[in-house]
Amino acid sequence: MSGPTSPTAARTAGDIMIEADGVSRAFGSLRALDSVSLSARRGTVLGLLGHNGAGKTTLVNVLTAALPPSSGRAAVAGFDVTRAPREVRKRIGLTGQFASVDPQLSGRDNLVLLARLLGADRRSARVRADELLELFGLQGFASRRPGTYSGGLRRRLDLAASLVGHPDVIFLDEPTTGLDPSSRLNLWEIVEDLVAGGTTVLLTTQYLDEADRLADSITVLSAGAVIASGTAAELKAQVGTCTVTVTPDSAAGPAVTCAALRQAGLEPVPDRENGTVAVAVEASKDIAQVIRALDRAGIGATALSFREPSLDDVYLALAGRSAGAAS
Amino acid sequence: MTTPSIGTPNPAPPVPDPAPGPAAAVWNGSSTATQIRVLTGRSLRALVSDPGVLAFGLFQPVIILFVLTQVFTGMGKSAHFPAGVSYLDFVMPAVLVDNAVQSAVQSGIGVVDDLKNGMVARLRSLPIHPASLLVARSLANLVRAAIQIAVVIVLAVVVLGYSPKGGAGQLLASAGLAVFITWTLGWAFIAAATWLRRAEPMQNLSVIALIPLMFASSAYIPVSDLPEWLRVIAKVNPLTYAIDTARALALDLPGAGAAVPAVLISAGIAVVGGVFAVVGLRRPL
Ligand SMILES: Nc1ncnc2c1ncn2[C@@H]1O[C@H](COP(=O)(O)OP(=O)(O)OP(=O)(O)O)[C@@H](O)[C@H]1O
Ligand SMILES: [Mg+2]
């Protein structure tokens, strides 16, 4: 009944631990996932970036065999999620976007319960629970119920819960939302340790510094579709190596500025929220090109900054581009 | 790097990984029986750590027991009231069945809680049979109902001097029937929980379904003394059979044969409820 979808494929492509191939998922008329393809090798971190409603959680649900895809194929640890969901579940850990712990059991008892359900005897269940409590700095809260925890503590317990069974592949859906800076750093270190030990991680996040630091490869989702993927460096290369940010004065405004820069052969991206315009340029000497274009159009700028690209620029540029294409 | 777990047929043997960290000490999964045992223990533990739930559950049957016996004993008996039977003797089985029905609702509420707090989501991501959780909830609730029924009986005996003619053995049998009703009817509410997934509609459902079922039955007065239209309902009401059986047993009256339809109907409810519950739980969250 269960088993790898294709034994030879699983063995030869053994290093691919997460794989989606044209996965779509509709909710009524809404296409929450639109032909998504991605893959991650053993011992790497795949970062999944996207706005609210981009489809990150839906994709995690499909990959963890909680939600059947409408079409397409997905495999985790070499097992097809629709045909061998049990094999998939044996090898994964999931920290969902919303905490999943029993509020009536103490922190330790929550972990012990999961270990017992995974087949541990009483003793090794307790040993494993204590290991994880220590790893996440929860020893002091072990005998309290999660109902009395702060949001961040509950989040940490939830993360610990997903690691109980030593999973090969871990899915973390916005794992650091609600964590304070030091807990975030602590979590990053835990993820790095796990990955060094051969665990594969899929991590969704809204924090670009998080993806930049942890992810070996990044997939950007927008309205259910993959709009970009690659390493952080590759994504940065896609939007140019450097960014000039222009803050036009109120007489001009972002729209006029964009038009002027486009006329000069540049590719400006407006950031309406901040009233600025970002321009990708090849190198620092190209700032002159931007200034000349503004000067020619008679646009005054209140501020002009130059920055090496960050993932934020990539994200903004890609999301802006796809939003432009959609409208 | 080798990939020991990939392509290995079920069950995957825990192959030690040379690298430190994951895949070191992987357990081999648990049997469905173990899952049910562990999860039942978890629900029972919540019962011990939060005895308020138990106390609150006792509230209604105890109120009914004391208020009804005081009120109706003072009013005198209706035309078809069995001769030589006190109102306490008459109503006690109904109190037990009412308690059983109320407890059954609690099985469903427990499942709604698990859906809300994410336990179902967590268990669904693990190699665990999802029905284990439902069976565990229903078993834990059976224990809870048995404790409540025991407390009600002890109170009736000690405070009100309840001493049915059938003797301890048959009283126990009638209590056993009530517990059985809890367990079977519980599956109807567990099924409702997996489909409705919220506590309020569950509570509403239980009030809408249970008040008419209890009053249009032989619970509080003999069926022959009910008005015509209620009598029709009472005669097809499975609770009438349950109450008649419990009463016949406790009072050593003829009519324990009603046990057959009572058990069959409630077993039917359990089977249908169980199927719907498992299907309902499979639906995406
Ligand atoms: N069960 C459901 N029924 C109907 N629509 C759904 C359901 N789940 C998700 N959606 C829709 O699918 C889209 C993608 O949702 P999803 O939760 O995957 O987004 P997300 O990227 O995780 O967003 P966020 O950052 O807010 O968590 C949204 O438009 C959402 O409204
Ligand atoms: Mg989400």
What are A84-136's pLDDT values in tens digits? Answer: 999 999 999 999 888 889 988 999 999 999 999 999 999 999 999 999 999 99
SS3 A174: coil
A108 touches chain B (CB under 8 A): no
A169 touches chain B (CB under 8 A): no
Q: Which tens digit of pLDDT belongs to each residue from B85-116?
A: 888 888 888 888 888 888 888 889 999 999 99
A223 CA to centre of own chain: 15
SS3 B85: coil
pLDDT at position B13 is: 40
Pocket of ligand 1 contains residue A30 by CB under 6 Å: yes
Which numbered atom of ligand 1 lies nearest the CA of A97? 27
Minimum CA–CA partner of A200 in chain B: B22
- Please state the rounded mean pLDDT for residues B175-194: 92
Pairing mode of beta strands A268-271, A276-281:
antiparallel
In a domain, B150, yes or no: yes
Q: Is the pLDDT of residue A323 over 60?
A: no
Q: Whose CA is nearest to atom 4 of ligand 1?
A: A27
In a domain, B11, yes or no: no
Residue B40 Cα distances to B116, B137, B182, angstroms: 18, 6, 16
Q: Per-residue confidence at A240, pLDDT binned at 50, 70, 90?
A: low
What b-and-e string marks burial along A165-177, b requiring 16 or more CB atoms within 10 Å of the CB?
bbbbbbbbbbbbe
Residue B266 Cα distances to B91, B142, B162, B269, angstroms: 21, 15, 28, 5
Q: Is the pLDDT of residue B272 over 80?
A: yes
Q: Which residues contact A123 (CB under 8 A, 6 or more apart)?
A: none
Q: Per-residue confidence at B153, pLDDT binned at 50, 70, 90?
A: very high
The Cα of B268 is separated from the nearest Cα of chain A by a number of Å equal to 31
B30 close to A113: Cβ distance less than 8 angstroms: no
In a domain, B228, yes or no: yes
Mean pLDDT of chain B: 83
Spatial distance between the Cα atoms of A201 and A190, rounded to a whole number of angstroms = 11
In a domain, B14, yes or no: no
The sign of the dihedral angle between the CA atoms of B12, B13, B15, B16 is positive
Mean pLDDT of chain A: 86
Which numbered atom of ligand 1 lies nearest the CA of A54? 21
Task: Say which of B10, B21, B122 has its CB closest to residue A193.
Answer: B21
- List the domains of chain A with CATH numbers: 10-237 (3.40.50.300), 241-308 (3.30.70.100)
Tokens of B262: 């009572």
Pocket of ligand 1 contains residue A57 by CB under 6 Å: yes
Q: Is the pLDDT of residue B66 over 70?
A: yes
Residue B280 Cα distances to A244, A264, B170, B259, B272, angstroms: 55, 61, 38, 31, 12
In a domain, B3, yes or no: no
A248 beta partners: A301
Q: Per-residue confidence at A243, pLDDT binned at 50, 70, 90?
A: confident
Spatial distance between the Cα atoms of B252 and B246, rounded to a whole number of angstroms = 10
In a domain, B137, yes or no: yes
Q: Which tens digit of pLDDT belongs to each residue from B53-63?
A: 788 888 878 88
pLDDT at position B56 is: 81
Burial of B36 from C-beta contacts in 10 A (0-12 / 13-18 / 19+): buried
- Please state the rounded mean pLDDT for residues B196-221: 85
Q: Which tens digit of pLDDT belongs to each residue from A183-239?
A: 888 889 989 999 998 999 999 988 777 888 899 999 999 889 998 899 888 877 776
Separation of CA B272 and ligand 1 centre (Å): 33
Minimum CA–CA partner of A171 in chain B: B125
Q: Per-residue confidence at A241, pLDDT binned at 50, 70, 90?
A: low
Q: Tell me how many domains chain B contains.
A: 1
ipTM computed for the complex: 0.81
In a domain, B48, yes or no: yes
Separation of CA A47 and ligand 2 centre (Å): 13
